[in-house]
Structure 1
Amino acid sequence: MSDETTTMTGPEDWQHWALVMARANQMLLEAWADSLGKARQMPGLGLAQPPVDASDPMQWMSAGAEAWSKGLEGWSQMLGQYASAGEARDRRFGSPEWRENPLFDTVRQSYLAISDKLLGTVEEIEGIDDKARDRLRFATRGFVDAMSPANFLATNPEVMKRTLDTRGENLLAGLRNMLTDIQRGQVTQSPDGAFELGRNLAVTPGKVVYETPLFQLIHYAPSTPEVLGTPLVIFPPWINRFYILDLTPEKSFVKWTIDQGVSLFMVSWKSADESIRDIAMDDYAAAQAEAIDVIRDLLDVPSVHAIGYCVAGTTLAATLAWLAAKGEADKVASATFFTAQVDFEDPGDLKLFVGDETMATLKQLTAEDGVLDGRVMAATFNLLRGRDLIWNYVVNNYLMGNDPPPFDLLHWNGDVTNLPGEWHRDYLDRLYRQNLLVKPGAISIRGVPIDLGRIETPAYVQAGREDHIAPAGSVWKLTRTLKGPTRFVLAGSGHIAGVVNPPAANKYQYWTNNGAPASLDEFVAGATEHKGSWWPDWIEWLNGLDGKTVKAEGARIPGDGKRKAIEDAPGRYVRTR
């Protein structure tokens, strides 16, 4: 920190800091009292009783100082073990204070050295199998991220400077933010009020033209005089809201696709409640088939193009196999898979969350109403990227006392959906644990055994190079499972940014390989890199299947066909928690 940093020099300063501590203590006590009034403890704090005497601010300060001293003692022992580390590009230590102050430069370098040593040790341990090593690697990475000196006031020079400059007001603001998040059960990643469905998110014009207790079907208004004769339906994952594909207009895959002359429909799934607590995989596959039939009937067309994203892509594969088994494969002209897996032999870090203890916990969490609170899934996904999606906000929101900057994607990330509990456990068990979907006949839809090897539908398979939810190597296996022609594209970035990458942004890149690679490694070795978004490659592929167009009139206008408008897009299901 600079020499100009504010210091406490007189009784007025001490009085101010005592008042700051007293105000903080009062906030904690009020939150504690509120939790008792609701007959429960506050999650994460365990405040079963006041930790110190509320009438004595100095006791509060002393307790905090003692805790910090113990933490610093342990930190000092670690610093003594490893002297330095090489430079690392790490935005946690981007502030100049981390390098200009010798003490904090040593803290930074030592932490990085310790981190490297701990993570390296995991790879060197002998006598454990791959599954055990994966668990240990994940746990170690989580521990290393959690123990970063950037996460603590006493070892973060930016926070210390901010605390002195604001005379502690940042800590009070941060405490207020933390208590609010505890009550919500979620870390705030984008400020309330910055985004609103229908105002600056999900604003593409359209109408809900069909609905069931499980989903609404949105028909979007065309923006071109003519549209592709074969319409397109998108099946988003029901573990999230569909508007990840219809964020702000400049990022909207929906708007961009319509502007390319596509008749577009979107399924909006209902967030689970007790009315659909017993929904199973069969029901989601049947719902996809139902939406396909409704569109075919509405537009009087023989087939549709379909997109399945993540878990909805996994289910789309099951739906296609079901249709094939019934002799109805021609209902789907093509299938596009966004970061979807069907072979779960190596599904990445999510495999660490399907053990017996996790399954028992999920059963306990859904015992009362049969519904899994969406915040549980959100917390799991956040853990997969704890540095960016947890600790970044601990520092910014709680220590610095800032509100997070508005970010449409992170607003969506926090807009969780509830899941049918039995479906979720069944999905994890039969797919992640037993890997039954790729075993012919092992899974049935509506009593019909399915075989993914019978799918001959042309397919476009997109994977994200840095995807931590559906790893590219796992997604690649879809190309080996399907028997029809496939085009595989590897996109830069991960599970979300790798998909939501509009051409106008000119971000990232993607790779194609027009040869016949037998593995992902072979694909990468012979791939051609293309700058920017893969969306134009996809629309070229889609138009290449059948480029016939029709006038955008009659039933192609939402509500003008036999299915009258129920309400405007984005509909009420997407607004229901």
Structure 2
Amino acid sequence: MTAMDRKGVFSATPAAADPAETARVLAELAANASNAVRAAHARALSPQPLPYDPFAPAKAFTAFQMALMSRPLDVMQRQMDAAQEWAQLWTSTASRALGLETEPVVTPQRGDRRFSSPAWSEEPAFDALKQAYLLAAQQLADLVETAELDPETHAKVDFFSRSLMNALSPSNNPLTNPDAVRKTLETGGLNLLQGLSNLLEDLGGERGLVKRRVQEAFELGETIAATPGQVVFENDLLQLIQYAPSTEQVFKRPLLFVPPLVNKYYLFDLTPRSSFLKWLVDEGHTVFVISWANPDETLRDKGLDAYVTEGVIAAMDAVQKATGEADLDLVSYCLGGTLVAITLALLAARGEAGRVASATLIASLVDFSEIGEWSAFRGEDDLRAFEAHLDHKGYVEAHDLARLFSAVRANDLIWGPAVSHYLLAEEGRPSDLLWWFDDAARIPARFLKDYGRKVLRENRLTEGGLTIDGTTIDLKAVKTPVHIVAFKDDHVSSWRRTFENLKAFGGKTRFILGGSGHNAGMINPPSAGKHGFWTGDDKAPDADAWFAGAAKHEGSWWPAWRERLAGAKAAKVDARTPGEGGLPAIEPAPGRYVRVRY
């Protein structure tokens, strides 16, 4: 390999590690190792139940093996196809070793950043290793598709097999990652010592996640979540922030934003140049946002009913008091959108539908009959294990939920940072979005038990049987205009499933498809000119038919959506100053609740 790569990875001049820096790293490593041992001992002695079923992989793969054994002819065909593919790869590899031009047998999927280093394509040995790995991963995925399994078991096998292959990627190994090999030669191995110290530091923490290491942090209220405003209402579950106007006149109808519970609200108020809420303020809207409490054990019994009545509806009551307006626009995101859908149905049942002029559900689901890879976590055994954990603690820790989301996007949120911090010993780039992602929140036990069983597993919100505050919920009774916004590369709320929201409600519905993924697609200021978006025939029979006839537009979806907003068509009034209306100011934004960390 060395001869082949004389001008590549191995052309780096081997260097001796700096003695002083080596001594510093070794001292740090020893301290981190001690902390890691203590943390592992404490975890081993912890009496709390695990938040997941530890036997789930074994049960899933046993069912997978039995399913394959029942279809020997299909398995044999897969084996024959695989043999031909490997022969093709070996032929291609040999041809390239002889200096011949060859086309790759298999290439990374779009967006796979693991093999972005030029060495993975330019140097034959690393290219062959990459293709061998990708081919094996593809063949395992094909084999999973061969097995006749029920949807829930199939989701588990698919998830666990992909997780295994993600872990086995040559990009994660210091001996087979060309960037790690080069860095090791250049530093005399000091990067691996520092990386081991970083790993032990993370193992010694409580989060069980790769800690992002960056030179620059952000400060709430100063460089992030800095849009001026005041908290004008609070209860056990939330603080309500009203933002200061930046225009002399504002639209008469106010706007209330409902974020999800799992992450704090300031995804929508990151740095000023990317703040969705600030953009709305600058467009002339009176903007309110819910900042959910980061709960402790005292809120363990706050369930789905409470988050609708004491949460969304209580915030609506406060907006009405603060502005004197009888109706508002509701805007929501992810789980916040599910809460808003439930709220709309409850208001309709109470004869109070007129309180909402329009509702927007961004990257939200109301029908959970098909949730893709998330089906791997809603089995009966999974729910029982999770509920036992919740009963013990009274809430789920933020880092437990972060681990779940990271596992679904392991290459970006686990293995990518691991390579950066453990193999290369490099600091990451400052990112307001990732800084926010690290600042997750707990969720109370009762809410998660209600949501996990009634909404996720039993799908009562769409199929019927969900009651809130003693009232049966019926989405078809909702006549309020509903705007649906989805994102093309969303890994949490698939846009095709989100499109089905158009059929869930009884009134007029509109649809916009933005580019990018679940979080990055949301934060798309017009000034950035990124991602693009699609609009089409909202009466199309299905998502694929809609997309086939949709028109793509450049730039951000924000202005196109705002033009459809009921409040953007309302009359204007003099700007409203927070605290000078029907509710006094309590404290400046972003308030106390968003600052609570455990």
Shift of 1:391: 0.5
Encode CA deviations 1:230-284: one digit per residue, 9 max, x unaligned: 0000010011100000001111000111111000000000011112111000001
Contact 2:32 2:201 in 1 (8 A): no
Counterpart residue number, 1:58: none
- AA paired with 1:237? P
Q: 1:39 to 1:219 in 2, by over 3 A?
A: closer
Encode CA deviations 1:166-186: one digit per residue, 9 max, x unaligned: 122212222232223221413
Question: SS of the counterpart of 2:12?
Answer: coil
Counterpart residue number, 2:272: 249
Shift of 1:449: 1.4
Contact 1:461 1:489 in 2 (8 A): yes
Counterpart residue number, 2:561: 538
Counterpart residue number, 2:323: 299
Tell me the matched-pair count: 534
Stretches of 4+ moved more than 6 A in 1?
A: 12-22, 78-81
Counterpart residue number, 1:191: 214
Q: 1:29 to 1:498 in 2, by over 3 A?
A: closer
Counterpart residue number, 2:343: 319
- AA paired with 1:203? A
Contact 2:358 2:482 in 1 (8 A): yes
1:557 to 549, 574, 577: 577
Contact 1:82 1:114 in 2 (8 A): no
Any residues of structure 2 matched to 1:437-516 within 5 Å, and which?
437-440=461-464, 442-514=465-537, 516=539
Asked whether 1:571 is paired with 2:578, we answer no
- AA paired with 1:155? T
1:374 to 393, 398, 405: 398
Please provide the CA RMSD for this pair. 2.6
Question: SS of the counterpart of 2:565?
Answer: helix
Shift of 1:495: 1.2
Q: Distance in 2 between matches of 1:333 and 1:15?
A: 68
Contact 1:348 1:468 in 2 (8 A): no
Contact 1:306 1:336 in 2 (8 A): yes
Encode CA deviations 1:337-370: one digit per residue, 9 max, x unaligned: 1111111111222121112332233223323331
Shift of 1:306: 0.6
Q: Distance in 2 between matches of 1:548 and 1:176?
A: 61
Asked whether 1:401 is paired with 2:425, we answer yes
Q: Distance in 1 between matches of 2:43 and 2:303?
A: 34
Counterpart residue number, 2:132: 110
- AA paired with 1:169? L
- AA paired with 1:350? W
- AA paired with 1:138? F
Counterpart residue number, 2:448: 424
Q: 1:538 to 1:16 in 2, by over 3 A?
A: closer
Q: Distance in 2 between matches of 1:299 and 1:25?
A: 57
Counterpart residue number, 1:204: 227
Contact 1:437 1:443 in 2 (8 A): yes
With structure 1 as the length reference, what TM-score do the two structures score? 0.87
Asked whether 1:362 is paired with 2:362, we answer no
Asked whether 1:217 is paired with 2:222, we answer no
Q: Distance in 2 between matches of 1:134 and 1:304?
A: 40
Asked whether 1:26 is paired with 2:69, we answer no
Q: 1:149 to 1:547 in 2, by over 3 A?
A: same
Contact 1:79 1:107 in 2 (8 A): no
Please, which runs of 5 or more residues in structure 1 have no aligned partner?
43-77
Any residues of structure 2 matched to 1:63-212 within 5 Å, and which?
83=90, 85-88=105-108, 90-123=112-145, 125-182=146-203, 183-185=205-207, 186-189=209-212, 191=214, 194-212=217-235
Q: Distance in 2 between matches of 1:371 and 1:328?
A: 33
Q: Distance in 2 between matches of 1:212 and 1:264?
A: 19
Shift of 1:155: 1.1
Question: SS of the counterpart of 2:581?
Answer: coil
- AA paired with 2:591? G
Instruction: State which drifts further: 138-147 or 196-205.
Output: 138-147
- AA paired with 2:452? L
Q: 1:297 to 1:153 in 2, by over 3 A?
A: same
Question: SS of the counterpart of 1:207?
Answer: strand
| Percent identity of paired positions between Structure 1 and Structure 2 | 37
